[in-house]
Structure 1
Amino acid sequence: MAERKINPILKLALELGPIVLFFVAYLRLKDRSFLIGGTEYDGFILATAGFVPLMILSTLALWKLTGRLSRMQVATLVLVVVFGGLSVWFNDDQFFKMKPTMIYLLFGGALGVGLLRGESYLKYVMEEVMPLEQEGWMILTRRLTAFFLGLAVLNEVIWRTMSTETWVYFKTFGLSAAIFVFFMTQSGVFSRYGIDEES
């Protein structure tokens, strides 16, 4: 089923809104603790507890408006619910901090399996957005596999060795910036192997 077009600003707001709201909530609650049901929760856990339903609602809204969800969106939502839920349930922020690691290992691993089979699974996900020759897809897939695995390692290093606040800034801004910069640096692949849709 073809994806229905929606206002790009609305789409961006639904995709990034939960992350921005998590960041704002964390900044407002980070130095506070709350006694709920006899258990003390810090601001990070409460921000996480708010992030999970927001992520569910925004993903459902995207599905309702566009008529489809990518496998990456579904996998991300499942991991957010699982690891965010574990953090809240056990009152332990480590589970949520591990979530980006699991996401990037999953994506990198899936692309890696495709490469071992001589295929580019990235092509199946992004072919409509970026038409490329097969060799271009293979080059991009190899680079993105290494990039995702590198991000997984970097996330582990940061959350295990630095403060929660540093990790929140890294997750909110660092990961998004890294992905943006990665694709900007692939312009040579796009220009060399790009396919003119009109032809």
Structure 2
Amino acid sequence: MADRTISPALKLGLELGPIVAFFVAYLKLRGEVVTIGGTGYDGFIVVTACFIPLIIASTLLLWRLTGHLSRMQVATLVLVVVFGGLSVWFNDDRFFKMKPTAIYLLFGGLLGLGLLRGQSWLQYVMEEALPLTQEGWMILTRRLCAFFFGLAVANELVWRTQTTDTWVWFKTFGLTAALFAFFLTQGRLFRDHEAPDASGKNTD
């Protein structure tokens, strides 16, 4: 299937819509217990059970509209289904709370493996979006690798020591804001290691 372009607003809505829906639904159902088949499920588990098919549908629709999914999107979907499914099956919210840890460890580990091989695997994913020199890609990859491991540690600390309410706010807003802040603080790197265009001049 050939890649196609869709509006940025629609793409953002498909990517963030399920997360926003999860947050809103949790606020409405927190503290509630729903009995299904004689088993009581708290609101977090119920919302998780609804979140799984929602993110599957949004990801498939994104693939249908664009003809493309990144490896990160596929990995995220698989981990949501696995860890979310375990939480619902065992009626235990800890599995779903560990999902961000697994995602960030996976991404950080893959970037680290590439670095050990002297390669920036991040470049293969984001080269079209960020025109950087080879040195720039290696620096950015090292920083992002360390950052992912830091997020994994932060997620573990929050869900193991704080309430579910705190973790949901942290997951919905804290981790997302941290990723945006990371790239915003890389402005100097992007300037100093901007790749030259075909004429040999830096692209401005």
TM-score (norm 1): 0.98
Look up the equivalent residue of 1:69 and give its one-letter code: L
Q: Distance in 1 between matches of 2:85 and 2:136?
A: 39
**Structure 1, unaligned runs of 5 or more:** none
Q: Which residue number corresponds to residue 67 of structure 1? A: 67
Equivalent position SS for 2:34 = strand
Say whether 1:123 aligns with 2:123. yes
Alpha-carbon distance in structure 2 between the residues aligned to 1:86 and 1:51: 13
1:195 offset after TM fit, Å? 2.1
SS at match of 2:41: strand
| 1:31 Cα deviation after fit | 1.5
- The one-letter code matched in structure 2 to 1:105 is L
CA separation in 2, counterparts of 1:74 and 1:114? 19
Separation in 2, partners of 1:26, 1:57? 19
Q: TM-score, normalised to structure 2's length?
A: 0.95
Q: CA deviation at 1:3?
A: 2.9
For the residue of structure 1 that corresponds to 2:132, the secondary structure is coil
Match of 2:96 in 1: 96
Partner Cα distance (1:82, 1:12) in 2: 24
Amino acid at match of 2:149: L
Give per-residue Cα distances to partners, 1:61-104, cap 9 Å, x unaligned. 11000001110000000000000000001000000000000000
Matching residue's letter, 1:12: L
- The number of residue pairs the alignment matches comes to 199
Q: Give the equivalent residue in structure 1 for 2:163.
A: 163
Question: 1:15-54 residue pairs with structure 2 within 5 A?
Answer: 15-54=15-54
Where in structure 2 are there 5+ consecutive unaligned residues?
200-204
Q: Which residue of 1 aligns with 2:140?
A: 140
In structure 2, the residue matched to 1:10 is 10
Query: Any idea what SS the aligned residue of 2:35 has?
Result: strand
CA distance in 2, matches of 1:36, 1:79: 25
Q: Distance in 2 between matches of 1:65 and 1:122?
A: 24
Identity of aligned residues (%): 71
Give the structure 2 partner of residue 150 of structure 1: 150
Q: In structure 2, do the counterparts of structure 1 residues 198 and 7 end up closer, same or farther at CA, with 3 Å as the change threshold?
A: farther
